[in-house]
Amino acid sequence: MEKIKIGVFGFGKTGKVIASEFLNDNLFTLVWVVRKSHDDHHKYASRLLGYEFDAGEIFTGEDIGEDFFLERPVDALIDFSDSTGIYLYKRAAEAGITIISAISKYEQEELDLLKSFAQCTTVLYSPNITLGINVLMVAAQILQKIAPHADIEIVEEHFKGKKEVSGTAQKIANSLGLNVEEHLNSIRVGGIVGRHEIIFGMPNQTIRLSHESISRAAFGQGAIFAIKFLIGKPPGMYTMETIIAEMFRQNIPVY
Amino acid sequence: MEKIKIGVFGFGKTGKVIASEFLNDNLFTLVWVVRKSHDDHHKYASRLLGYEFDAGEIFTGEDIGEDFFLERPVDALIDFSDSTGIYLYKRAAEAGITIISAISKYEQEELDLLKSFAQCTTVLYSPNITLGINVLMVAAQILQKIAPHADIEIVEEHFKGKKEVSGTAQKIANSLGLNVEEHLNSIRVGGIVGRHEIIFGMPNQTIRLSHESISRAAFGQGAIFAIKFLIGKPPGMYTMETIIAEMFRQNIPVY
Amino acid sequence: MEKIKIGVFGFGKTGKVIASEFLNDNLFTLVWVVRKSHDDHHKYASRLLGYEFDAGEIFTGEDIGEDFFLERPVDALIDFSDSTGIYLYKRAAEAGITIISAISKYEQEELDLLKSFAQCTTVLYSPNITLGINVLMVAAQILQKIAPHADIEIVEEHFKGKKEVSGTAQKIANSLGLNVEEHLNSIRVGGIVGRHEIIFGMPNQTIRLSHESISRAAFGQGAIFAIKFLIGKPPGMYTMETIIAEMFRQNIPVY
Amino acid sequence: MEKIKIGVFGFGKTGKVIASEFLNDNLFTLVWVVRKSHDDHHKYASRLLGYEFDAGEIFTGEDIGEDFFLERPVDALIDFSDSTGIYLYKRAAEAGITIISAISKYEQEELDLLKSFAQCTTVLYSPNITLGINVLMVAAQILQKIAPHADIEIVEEHFKGKKEVSGTAQKIANSLGLNVEEHLNSIRVGGIVGRHEIIFGMPNQTIRLSHESISRAAFGQGAIFAIKFLIGKPPGMYTMETIIAEMFRQNIPVY
């Protein structure tokens, strides 16, 4: 079987881990990496990450000319850079390359651009692309409908240095119609990678759905999961949450 | 609106709590209680449970003659007695009364009888009728399909005196195709009412679904939930799990 | 061995559970109960609580004349009434009866009165008298000294109806020098009896100390624990926390 | 202030992390590393770990001649190699260098050798040298004495690939006199770094002490903690557990 060809935008802390996940998985070939800085220009991401083969030649934004995506074709482009990365890959979308963006926050203008790409190709945008968080989000919304009288609270725990409230936790709160000020509790201690818990309290029972991150590689696994799902799907805008919701629908147990 | 008329089989520790739940809920009238012993014959369950009104006259098995269910009609019959209770309410089923059985374990013969009732009326049978446990069971089966490579372990915690392995935990294990010997961990300490946790371990993330029981009243609430669902449904055999699975289907978020 | 004679102030929800704990324990005799209301005057607490023997005759405040404590002598008096109960048992203290008060909050005047009793007898005052909470408090203070750079957060979970922040959690925060506004997180959902968790976050590891209440009987067990400890101790003011700290000292493992 | 000079035995997965912890901490100078393989001989550990300065020259066992420890003096030697490392540093002990061994398992002969070193210098041996695990162990032993009737269970969770039962959990079980077969529950799923929980169940309350590992750097921090404690202490055999027990003693709250 031919391997799925991948390009990655972003080679920071998370970008490197994402590249490694693709390098580790035989289903994929990492063709190139685009990064902001000029460091390691034309070197191979694979070598920098300790592999003994050449893969993922490193480019910078300025290298992306008219024919970049035609000369170095990929099946999917994963963006873990920043909100401006999007301005560089219009042609990729036009060429039908699947776009997966895990950027934390876009301005409206950027979001509109991303949506315009969705007319030509499959575009997935999710700030948190891990399987687990999206499973939690979908399950929580269903549970809220099943037990509408349950009181719901969200607890998120992260390392001391994380200043802002978890965007993921805010998104969960919004999806459940919960006021963030009142029902979202943030714990900041030590080196906790990330933990989200949704508590459903009923008079005689308590249900807890929790997700603990062990490493950033979960983002890479989420991207891999998404690419596999998007293969053969019609152009359009997707999110991890809609994919997971669809998978819930397909997998409800039959008795 | 006319109240829903209820009969209860069983007036032990759990039966009493179940009766109380129906006495507390304005949607229902507790018409009678059938218990094994002759204690408190013809007294009112309501009075014995500290209420200031008459409801739930207490009968014994021998009182159930040919016309018992016609003379004291109810809409639903809840059975928290034991596996032999079923032999007393064939006529109830024939009269179209909804049957809800929460008996722990039936012999095949009894199960067959229960199924025969399902030709005349709606019959629900679930050894654990709480909302939360069934939500956990359905969510876990879906999650296993979405993340087939996740390692799964079940932990159940109960009070020291509980000798056997939790039947609910065994049922969860079976529904996930897990070997009980290998993947079910039983903790027996102090006075823990009941806690079940299903752990999904992936290389970079861990998902935990947990359910903690606070009181037996959760069983009564489960019965109330089931009755509301079964109203107007066609005759047939139901379980809490199938009801919850159906509610999952109806409540998958749409974007 | 002669039984330890007990008098209880308070016969509300908690007071009844406390009386039951003493009725259940062969080491003790419940001699009397003093309650505010005139209900059940001169009846036996034991009978009202479903026991088949007479114990714990019920009195009201007005019954406590000059000789009450001489005519109905007890070894220890447990106060689960309210902050005014203290004005009724000055003579008990003078007679050398051990005083155990679990009142939530005293005015300064009342606190001074309580302290004056400590000149005649052993007096223990702890708003939360459970073994577990006090173990948590002492262990947390030690751990903070051992790992002074750890970030500490407190999470307390209680039933939805509990309006105020847990006094116990506030006390824990104070004992650790933590600002309550910043480091105390209150979860209010469903019917959770009570859960306190102290999280110590370090860069590479997290320690959690947690306490879950199952029933109010834990207060009775705390009182029993305290009485046994106080027997033979010199007059003075004690708290559960000081007793537990002393037991920590006595039980540090020797290698 | 003069820095504390450190030598490290072992440069595997854990050894590298330990070396990094010393390189990161201004209180210390990493003088050398001794590793089994001949890789990177005479290179600097600092450079291999991505630092921009020279520290921690790499030697192999054969380099350790008669004068190694005199020519390259250190204040403390940390051994994360294997059980045979001990045969190489007899002269270090004789020179009064503090020895810290975190080897998983020694044969009796090796243990005897280690003990003989303790006549000349301070020797600490603990297979698990993290602060948190030792705090848990000491706290659990005290709590067992305070609440002798509590039922105790241990749960340890680790990544799927860990075949054996956690040695740390076994040590905890032994210190509490618990049968490992009956009271130690091992969960093996996904990528969990390491979690130990000790559950104390009482009829009306449950106490849980838990420790979660985030990264191996906790071992380095444990070594740093131990070195600071051992400075100025008399020669003898120490363990992390005895140090932590001593710190418990020194830090019991006074009221």
Reported as a pLDDT band with limits 50, 70 and 90, residue A1 is: confident
Residues belonging to chain D with any Cβ–Cβ distance to chain A shorter than 8 Å: 190-193, 214-215
Nearest CA in chain D to B202: D190
The whole-angstrom separation of Cα C80 and Cα C62 is 18
Please write the tens of the pLDDT for every residue from C217-241.
Answer: 999 999 999 999 999 999 999 999 9
Single-letter amino acid, residue B127: P
The whole-angstrom separation of Cα C110 and Cα C252 is 36
| DSSP-assigned letters across all residues of D195-234 | EEEEEEEETTEEEEEEEEE--THHHHHHHHHHHHHHTTPP
Of B159, B188, B204, the CB nearest to D191: B204
Distance between A30 CA and the closest CA of chain D, angstroms: 24
Q: Are the C-beta atoms of B101 and B71 separated by less than 8 Å?
A: no
What is the separation, in whole angstroms, between the first and last Cα of chain D?
36
Mean pLDDT of D219-248: 95
Please write the tens of the pLDDT for every residue from B88-136.
Answer: 999 999 999 999 999 988 999 999 999 999 999 999 999 999 999 999 9
Name every chain C residue with its beta carbon within 8 A of the beta carbon of D244: 146
Distance between B49 CA and the closest CA of chain C, angstroms: 13
Q: Are the C-beta atoms of D93 and D74 separated by less than 8 Å?
A: no
> Catalytic pick from A5, A158, A196, A211?
A158
pLDDT at D82: 93
Please write the tens of the pLDDT for every residue from A95-134.
Answer: 999 999 999 889 999 999 999 999 999 999 999 999 999 9
The whole-angstrom separation of Cα D111 and Cα D118 is 11
Residue ranges of the alpha helices (H) in chain D?
13-24, 45-48, 68-71, 90-94, 108-117, 131-146, 167-175, 180-183, 217-230, 240-250
Name every chain A residue with its beta carbon within 8 A of the beta carbon of C188: 151, 153, 201
Verify whether the Cβ–Cβ distance D204 to C215 is below 8 Å. Answer: yes
Alpha-carbon distances of C70 from C2, C8, C65, C92, D250, rounded to whole Å = 18, 16, 10, 8, 45
Nearest CA in chain D to A193: D214
Pairing state between β C57-60 and C184-188 = unpaired
Q: Are the C-beta atoms of B203 and D190 separated by less than 8 Å?
A: yes
Please write the tens of the pLDDT for every residue from C66-114.
Answer: 899 999 999 999 999 999 999 999 999 999 999 999 998 899 999 999 9
Distance between C62 CA and the closest CA of chain B, angstroms: 29
Mean of the per-residue pLDDT values of chain B: 95
Mutate to test the interface with A, among D212, D213, D216 (most CBs of A within 10 A): D212
Q: Are the C-beta atoms of A195 and A210 separated by less than 8 Å?
A: yes
b/e sequence A80-105, b meaning 16+ C-beta within 10 Å: bbebebbebbeebbeeebbbbbbbee
Mean pLDDT of D225-241: 95
Nearest CA in chain B to A133: B207
Mean pLDDT of A40-57: 94
Mutate to test the interface with A, among B248, B249, B250, B254 (most CBs of A within 10 A): B248
Handedness of CA C107, C112, C113, C119 (dihedral sign): positive
Mean pLDDT of A247-252: 96
Mean pLDDT of B156-180: 96
Nearest CA in chain B to C218: B191
Please write the tens of the pLDDT for every residue from C148-175.
Answer: 999 999 999 999 999 999 999 999 999 9
Mean pLDDT of A210-223: 95
Tokens of A175: 């999806």
Distance between B191 CA and the closest CA of chain D, angstroms: 4
**Burial of B19 (C-beta count, 10 Å sphere; 0-12/13-18/19+):** buried
Mutate to test the interface with A, among B125, B142, B145 (most CBs of A within 10 A): B142
CA angle D180, D184, D185 (to 5 degrees): 145
The whole-angstrom separation of Cα A195 and Cα C197 is 15
Dihedral of CA atoms B244, B248, B249, B253 in degrees, nearest 10, equals: 160
The whole-angstrom separation of Cα B209 and Cα D123 is 45
Q: Are the C-beta atoms of A211 and A196 separated by less than 8 Å?
A: yes
Mutate to test the interface with D, among C146, C192, C249 (most CBs of D within 10 A): C146
Q: pTM (2 decimals)?
A: 0.94
Name every chain A residue with its beta carbon within 8 A of the beta carbon of D191: 214-215
Please write the tens of the pLDDT for every residue from A153-206.
Answer: 999 999 999 999 999 999 999 999 999 999 999 999 999 999 999 999 999 999
The whole-angstrom separation of Cα D107 and Cα A163 is 49
Verify whether the Cβ–Cβ distance C155 to A206 is below 8 Å. Answer: no
Tokens of C133: 């909470």
Reported as a pLDDT band with limits 50, 70 and 90, residue D31 is: very high
Bridge partners for D32 per DSSP:
D7, D57
The whole-angstrom separation of Cα C219 and Cα C130 is 5
Catalytically annotated residues of D:
158, 162
Distance between D131 CA and the closest CA of chain C, angstroms: 8
Of D155, D185, D191, the CB nearest to B203: D191
Domains, chain C, ordered by start: 4-125+217-250 (3.40.50.720), 131-213 (3.30.360.10)
> Does pLDDT of B255 surpass 90?
no
Mean pLDDT of C113-142: 96
Verify whether the Cβ–Cβ distance A206 to C200 is below 8 Å. Answer: no
Of A153, A185, A190, the CB nearest to C202: A190
| Chains in touch with D (≥3 Cβ pairs < 8 A) | A, B, C
- C-D Cβ pairs (cutoff 8 Å, strict): 150
The yes/no answer to whether this complex scores an ipTM above 0.90 is yes
Residues belonging to chain C with any Cβ–Cβ distance to chain A shorter than 8 Å: 150-153, 155, 157, 159-160, 185, 187-192, 199-206
The C-alpha R_g of chain A, in whole angstroms, comes to 19
